Structure 1
Amino acid sequence: MTTPIRILSYNIRKAVGTDRRRDPHRILTILKEAQADIVILQEADLRLGQRRTALPMDLIPDCGLVPVPIAVNGVSLGWHGNAILVRPDWAVAATDRITLPGLEPRGAISALVRTPLGPLRVIGAHLGLLRRSRLGQQQALIDWIAEQDTGPMVIGGDLNEWSARRGLGPLARVFALHTPGHSYHARWRLAPLDRIGLSEEIAMHDLSMIDTTLSRKGSDHLPIRASVTWPTATAGPTAHHRG
């Protein structure tokens, strides 16, 4: 039987919890307990100055994960706050940074991960606060994807769309978008802002939120996770890198 790939998406709000305390060790504990194979993070870096990582780089391996090298400097974990962590025994064949349009600076990232089921393109995104901006950002992502080689793809992130039925039409043309429920706010459950999207090759086996005493304090978002598989015979994309 094929072992599913465990994927987690989490807006960690720069490690500032609902108790207004910045506690990166709390986030690291949540990630370690989740035991995911791939983690897609949003707001993983501080907003001002050099955008230093919100998580201690040297402690991330204690979670059983390592950062995908996507940052443009030596102090950030990711790019525009987006970061990807993977198991240390899984190679990353290529990375990309994708500039997104809008009134506020936004970007997405991509990593081609060599999993036991074959190559998987992992995309992390944090879309804007305005729907008009989100629609343009989705279209930019779709245009970028259209230029890539085909193969299994997953997108995860805080898509900032409050509606469960509208506003994500461009992404829905490429991905089956899934939400386990109202992951924001971690305490009050207002909206399904966090989503995981799967390309048509990929089957969803489980989808849930990590709703614990610790996760309700760790960030204003709850982590969401999915277990997925796809046919190992599926052709994967070729490796490339564009910065």
Structure 2
Amino acid sequence: MFSCVSWNIHRGRGNDGVVDPARTARVLAAEVCPPGQDALILQEADEEVPPHRGVLDLAEVEAATGLSHVHGDAAHRWGDGSHGFLGTIVFLHPDARVEDIALVDLPGRCHRGAVVVDLTLRGRALRLVGTHLSLAQALRAAQMRTIGQHLFRRTARPTILCGDLNEWRPWGGLALSRRITGLPLAGPAPATFPVGRPVLPLDRVLVTPPARVVSARVLDGPGIRMASDHRPLAAQVAL
């Protein structure tokens, strides 16, 4: 079983408008990422405009979650001051062996991207893809087509796609369809947005066979409601 949490942290700017890295770390520890998680995938965790500086205290996040930041090599970040790639940051269980990290630029009016991590954990090989897609359906379709074409060129392995996919349709819409992605993506669609009373399933954890999502749980708590406009999504994936 592989456990992961995906959360759009709204550039660290809480609902009070204050960027507070220490608060984000506290909320991660207390309400989002308890000990035993295998992966944490954050979106909007760098500043929105170039040079996309990081908004976290990485040491505090690692201490709070017990997970390791995988973007230490400058080649795996947008730039020197970034913590990830266009706001997407991946943290993994310290026992995970990272085999490859690829950054994929996605088309659109706003610069978007995906982080593709090939890893082995507890003897199981898998691929983790974190991303944040456009608000516009046509651009989401183009972005998912780009991700699908990138993955098509790689050696096949069980794949977990997660992040703020901005898809409000529970059935997934055109962008998440196999016709666009070339991938048989599957997974539940619990509502994660807005944080106070979620009605839209904007955040997803989707997988390709033989992986399957065993459970997907939307997290809640006073810290979560203060720290972001999205609720985190925690999933258990059978590989």
TM norm structure 2: 0.89
Give the equivalent residue in structure 2 for 1:142: 148
Gaps of 5+ in 2: none
The match for 1:101 among 99, 104, 107 is 107
| Aligned-residue identity in percent | 27
Give 1:16's aligned residue. Answer: 13
Match of 1:198 in 2: 207
AA of the residue aligned to 2:5: L
Q: 1:78 to 1:163 in 2, by over 3 A?
A: same
Tell me the residue number matched to 1:234.
none
Taking the aligned partners of 2:23 and 2:238, their CA distance within structure 1 comes to 30
- Aligned-pair distance for 1:85? 0.6
Alignment of 1:85-124 (within 5 A): 85-124=91-130
Using the alignment, how far apart are the partners of 1:72 and 1:15 within structure 2? 18
- Residue 76 of structure 1 deviates from its aligned partner by 1.0
Per-residue displacement from partner, 1:141-190 (whole Å, max 9, x unpaired)? 111111110111101010111222323223484311322x2201101323
Amino acid paired to 2:2: I
- AA aligned to 2:7 is Y
Distance 1:210 1:117, change over 3 A: farther
Give CA-to-partner distance per residue, 1:89-108, whole Å, 9 cap, x none: 22211100111112221111
**2:3 aligned with 1:6:** yes
**Residue 44 of structure 1 contacts residue 82 of structure 1 at CA under 8 Å; is this kept in 2?**
yes
| Corresponding residue for residue 47 of structure 1 | 48
Residue 66 of structure 1 corresponds to: 68
Letter in 1 for 2:26: T
Are the counterparts in 1 of residues 128 and 161 from structure 2 also a CA contact under 8 Å? Answer: yes
Partner residue, 1:151:
157
Query: Once the 2 structures are TM-superposed, how far is the Cα of residue 79 of structure 1 from its aligned partner?
Result: 0.6
**Residue type of the alignment partner of 2:228:** S
* Counterpart position of 1:240: none
**2:186 & 2:50 partners in 1: Cα distance?**
37
Aligned-residue offset at 1:227: 0.9
Residues 83 and 89 in structure 2, CA contact (< 8 A), matched pair in contact too = yes
State the alpha-carbon separation in 2 of the partners of residues 120 and 31 from structure 1: 24
Please say if residues 41 and 89 of structure 2, whose CA atoms lie closer than 8 Å, have aligned partners that are also in contact. yes
**Bigger Cα displacement from structure 2, 134-143 vs 17-26:** 17-26
Aligned positions of 1:217-228 closer than 5 A = 217-228=226-237
Unpaired runs of 5+ residues, structure 1, are 231-243
The separation in 2 between residues aligned to 1:43 and 1:12, in whole angstroms, is: 6
Amino acid at match of 2:13: V
Structure 2: which amino acid aligns with 1:210?
L
Code of the aligned partner of 2:230: H
Is the Cα–Cα contact under 8 Å of residues 4 and 38 in structure 2 kept in the other structure?
yes
- Most deviating of 6-15 and 17-26: 17-26
Q: 1:24 to 1:147 in 2, by over 3 A?
A: same
Task: Say what the alpha-carbon RMSD is for the aligned residues.
Answer: 1.6
Structure 2: distance between partners of 1:72 and 1:17: 24
Whether the 8 Å CA contact 1:14–1:45 is kept in 2: the answer is yes
> Helix, strand or coil for the counterpart of 1:178?
coil
